Structure 1
Amino acid sequence: MAKAIPSRSENYSEWYNELVKRADLAENSAVRGCMVIKPYGFSIWEKMQRALDDMFKETGHSNAYFPLFIPKSYLSKEASHVEGFAKECAVVTHYRLKNAEDGSGVVVDPDAKLEEELIVRPTSETVIWSTYKNWIQSYRDLPLLINQWANVVRWEMRTRLFLRTAEFLWQEGHTAHATAQEAMDETRQMLDVYARFAEEWMAVPVIRGIKTPNERFAGADETFCIEAMMQDGKALQAGTSHFLGQNFAKAFDVTFLNKQNQLEHVWGTSWGVSTRLMGALIMAHSDDDGLVLPPKLAPIQVVIVPIFKNDEGLAQISEKVKPIIQELRKAGVSVKFDDSDANKPGWKFAEYELRGVPVRLAMGMRDLENNTVEVARRDLKTKETVSLDGIVAHIQNLLADIQQTIYQKALQFRQSNTFRVDTFDAFKEQIEKGGFISAHWDGTSETEEAIKEATKATIRCIPLEAEEEDGVCVYSGKPSKQRVIFARAY
């Protein structure tokens, strides 16, 4: 057996890095700052994609695809947008290579300089809004509800698998509307879609909120977000939805004839989640023995491990479980029957525990005689011997219970690690211990920056469901009407 994964309590960062690699999710690539998502990790991402894509289509959106390259001049059209992304852009300057004259390899052909440099997309607002100008003429063309599944590049010097890489996978929705209210309704609707996905599929409780101007997406009038707590008490932004106002419509002159036959600019939104969700999934639930995956996103929901001494025993067990496997698959449950003889059952148990398979069934000859099977659940690490009569219904109920139990555990963790703080001394003391801090803020960028400088904590969001409450700012002592959520974050 390989050595144990570092424990979360000893070194949370090392625990995460090792778990991603040991569970065969991803690895660093030969290209600095980029990652290879391995088949097991990609199968989790595919399940995420499928669920989200269904939700997008249920709300009327269609998928399209736009170019990877964006002319540099496009980024200059929206001032705050270019300022927000300029330092992260990868730039293509030439279109051809040639063999070096000294035979040392290939070099950039200096005669092949592009007339205009191309930016490898950090996000697609500019190229998409330049396209929408041709698609939208009248109110009859609205709303335009488009989503794109793509990769983007944001130059990163310090990278971490799934959480922060130079290239990552994501989806980005871009919609156009006839009125500000319709665009705002879309922004809020997609935030709710993300929150529902996080809670019902990922089993990760989230706080819905609005970002401060300092934390707002470059080019948006408002940014809404969902914030999740990881097991080390840090926050992870799990999704954002942006009300763009008319900023990009004006930058790219996207107008339409309204019902009164008057020309006006359309209203826009954009929204996205990325492979950072993989990092959230790992850090929210997993333990020192490996992944803990919610059944809805587990590539293998049930593994069956036969315990046998010879081919005859294996054949008898295989025959017994065959109809169970068929019934489970018919019910939409993904099952693996591991009858390989390359490794012993104990090794298999540890391997499937590491990979986060929610339910493990083990059947030996005695189980065969007694018409029973040993059922182990990954989340609670409990085992029970169950009759094979009604086993399919039992497993379905068990998977549903595991999904809910994982969510409740994460919710209780967040609740017990969220603290109301009223003085800056208490704030500084608590932020060192981790968790979310609910505190009053005077609403100024100066105070927000000062707190960040002093504690490395940022305002994660202004909660949408928070009630008004008179108080004084935890830092400046000025009046405040509402508490906001502070935390250190990924």
Structure 2
Amino acid sequence: MVTRKEDFSKWYLQTIQQADLMDYSPVRGCIIFKPNGYEIWEHIQEYFNKRLKEEGIRNAYFPMLIPESFFTREKDHIEGFSPELPWVTEAAGEVLEERLALRPTSETMIGDAFSNWINSYRDLPYEINQWANVFRWEKRTLPFLRTSEFLWQEGHTAHADEEDARHRTMRMLEIYAELLEELLAVPVFKGEKTPSERFAGAVQTFSVEAMMQDGKAVQAGTSHYMGTKFAEAFNIRYLNKDNEHVYAHTTSWGVSTRLIGSMIMTHSDDQGLVLPPAIAPQQVVFIPVGPKKKLDQVLEKVKDLDAQLKAAGVRTYIDDSDNSAGYKFNEWELRGAAIRIEVGPRDIENNQVIMKARDEDEKNAISMDGLAEQIHQALALMQNRLLEKARQRNQANMYTHIDTLDELIDHIENKKAANETPGWVLVGWDGSEESEAKIKELTGFTTRNLPFENYFAGENALVKKDKCLVSGKPAKETVWIARAY
């Protein structure tokens, strides 16, 4: 098995296949979610749906096919997505009068619906979410991270004024950060995207960005303030309290199955998949061990312990296959079971089990008494360890001392020579597309986001840059740059 150091991308592909999360589809750029892979997505849905309900946002569903005329109503939107759109041009043996796109996102379809549903200030805010598949015909694909078809949620809201719409935009960004850090144990960098990285048709785009073990970035989630641009394009107007017809302010926001790839690249190791307990399909796997003549007795005890954990809300699995114990240990390391519990005849005599957390090397003997409470504690400790380890790794790969393009190029070359990641670099930017493009052209680094003001205050505060990395002109912004998936 190739290691992360030898070839990170190959290691990643190996890891997800050996963990039985996915398979390749006959259609280029599309993947099949196997049960373990899809269950991870289900846990993300469970967490996010709970947060939506707390916010008073309900789920809906819209058709996958979108008329071409809908896209032409918002110029920036069609220009942004046109190269990636697959089209349906024929059905039932007849050429369609109007081409239909497989949705890349649903702003246009939902904007049209909002124009019919929203008539008065009493209808606002109107806030919905949809779980769906979307299509963007990618030339280069990587399972979970970038595929031609992927699963996501997309939230769409309409508001009476800018203040309320901006509040929703930022609130959802915060919820995304909490989802990533609390559920996936992936620390994130919050900020605003530069204009060139902005969602097509948005006034402003905000993102949560995550750093992978190889130092590359993943845009893990985005939230967009659309102003009245889509409202004007789709005639989303309402009668306000002054009896005037005015345009609503809209937002949209989304995360996708890219979260699964991000989580795997953040936590897994050379032995295989490592999953945070909060999201692991198998939080505890029981492995009965011992001589064959005593296995029935052991299995009976294991089933009793398993029932106790299930009753306490733990996701468990009993591996009573006839494979050797060593094979099972290795298999569940590959598959990312959070905790492995071995039980043998001697353990039963001693009223104990042997427990091993996936992210630690040592095994521990723990009492069968109060097992559920001990397991919950072990799962919580592992969840916290993974998040803290990722934070420390991020800190070690953040570079804030580089002020010129030559220094950046030297930094990249030195790290390459040492077979180390160049990580993320905080730089000054004069705000021009030319400078931004020059960085990408010469280094392959792209702008990730402009850190929010709170990152420049308090302990471990970032320091704002006063000169542009490229032009040497006064910096208008301080921005994170990195290579990205």
Give the TM-score, by structure 1 length.
0.94
1:381 & 1:38 partners in 2: Cα distance? 29
Query: Structure 1 vs Structure 2: percent identity of aligned residues?
Result: 51
1:353-372 pair list within 5 angstroms: 353-372=333-352
CA 1:216–1:366 in 2, change beyond 3 Å: closer, same or farther? same
Per-residue Cα deviation, 1:27-58 (whole angstroms, up to 9, x for no partner): 21111111111111111111111111111121
Q: 2 CA distance for matches of 1:317 and 1:481?
A: 68
Measured in 1, the distance between the counterparts of 2:67 and 2:31 equals 26
- Match in the other structure for 2:47: 51
1:472 to 467, 471, 475: 467
Query: Residues of 1 paired with 2:67 and 2:351: CA distance?
Result: 67
Question: What amino acid maps onto 1:223 in structure 2?
Answer: T
Aligned to 2:445: 457
Assess if the C-alpha contact under 8 Å between 1:176 and 1:268 holds in 2: yes
The residue number in structure 2 matching 1:114 is 96
**Structure 1 letter corresponding to 2:455:** A
In the alignment, the residues of structure 1 paired with residue 428 and residue 465 of structure 2 have an alpha-carbon distance, to the nearest angstrom, of 9
Residue from 63, 66, 71 that aligns with 1:70: 66
> What is the alpha-carbon distance in structure 2 between the residues aligned to residue 484 and residue 327 of structure 1?
51
> Deviation of residue 213 (structure 1)?
0.3
Q: Which residue matches 2:423?
A: 435
The CA deviation at 1:480 is: 1.8
Residue in structure 1 matched with residue 125 of structure 2 by the alignment: 143
Determine the structure 2 residue equivalent to 1:373: 353
The question of 1:25 aligning with 2:8 is answered: no
Letter in 2 for 1:18: Q
Q: Is the 8 A contact 1:227 1:237 kept in 2?
A: yes
CA distance in 2, matches of 1:368, 1:277: 41
Match 2:244 to one of 262, 271, 274: 262
Match for 2:403 among 413, 419, 422? 422
Letter in 2 for 1:246: T
Helix, strand or coil: the match of 2:363? Answer: strand
| Aligned position for 1:276 | 258
- The CA distance in 2 between the partners of 1:170 and 1:369, in whole Å, is 50
Match of 1:99 in 2: none
| 8 Å CA contact 1:466, 1:482 repeated in 2 | no
1:329-356 deviations in whole A, cap 9, x for unaligned? 1221111111222x11110100100011
CA distance in 2, matches of 1:217, 1:382: 47
Conservation of the 8 A alpha-carbon contact between 1:94 and 1:114: yes
Secondary structure in structure 1 of the residue aligned to 2:278 = helix
Q: Which residue of 1 aligns with 2:419?
A: none
Q: Distance in 1 between matches of 2:477 and 2:139?
A: 37
The match for 1:94 among 81, 87, 90 is: 90
**More off after superposition, 45-54 vs 74-83:** 45-54
Given that 1:431 and 1:487 are in contact with CA atoms closer than 8 Å, whether structure 2 keeps it comes out as no
d(CA) in 2 for partners of 1:382, 1:132: 57
Offset of 1:385 from its aligned partner?
1.5
| Deviation for aligned residue 1:430 | 2.7
After TM superposition, list the pairs within 5 Å mapping 1:285-304 onto structure 2.
285-304=267-286
| Residue correspondence of structure 1 range 15-414 to structure 2 within 5 A | 15-96=11-92, 109=93, 112-311=94-293, 313-341=294-322, 343-414=323-394
Q: Which shows bigger deviation, 173-182 or 157-166?
A: 157-166
Tell me how far apart the structure 2 counterparts of residues 157 and 415 of structure 1 sit (CA, whole Å). 33
Q: Is the 8 A contact 2:465 2:478 kept in 1?
A: no
Which runs of 5 or more residues in structure 1 are unaligned?
97-108
Q: 2:367 is matched by which residue type in structure 1?
A: S
CA distance in structure 2 between the partners assigned to 1:117 and 1:27 by the alignment = 31
Aligned residue identity for 1:345: A
Unaligned regions of 5+ residues in structure 2, if any?
416-421, 457-462
Matched to 1:466, the amino acid is Y
After superposing the two structures, state which structure 1 stretch, 170-179 or 321-330, moved more.
Answer: 321-330
Partner-residue secondary structure (3-state), 1:477: coil
Whether the aligned pair in 2 keeps the contact of 1:469 and 1:481 (CA below 8 Å) is: no
- What do you get for the CA RMSD once the two structures are aligned? 1.2
Q: Say whether the 8 Å CA contact 2:288–2:302 is kept in structure 1.
A: no
Which has the larger displacement, 461-470 or 153-162? 461-470
CA contact (8 A) 2:431 2:476 kept: no
Residue 481 (structure 1) shift? 5.2
Question: 2:356, 2:364 within 8 Å by CA — same for their partners in 1?
Answer: yes
Contact 1:227 1:460 in 2 (8 A): yes
Q: Kindly tell me the number of residue pairs found equivalent between the two proteins.
A: 470
Match of 1:12 in 2: 8
Structure 1 residue 483, shift from structure 2 partner: 2.3
Is residue 431–residue 477 contact of structure 2 (8 Å, CA) maintained in 1? no
Whether 1:448 and 2:430 are equivalent positions in the alignment is: no
Q: Normalising to structure 2: TM-score of the pair?
A: 0.95
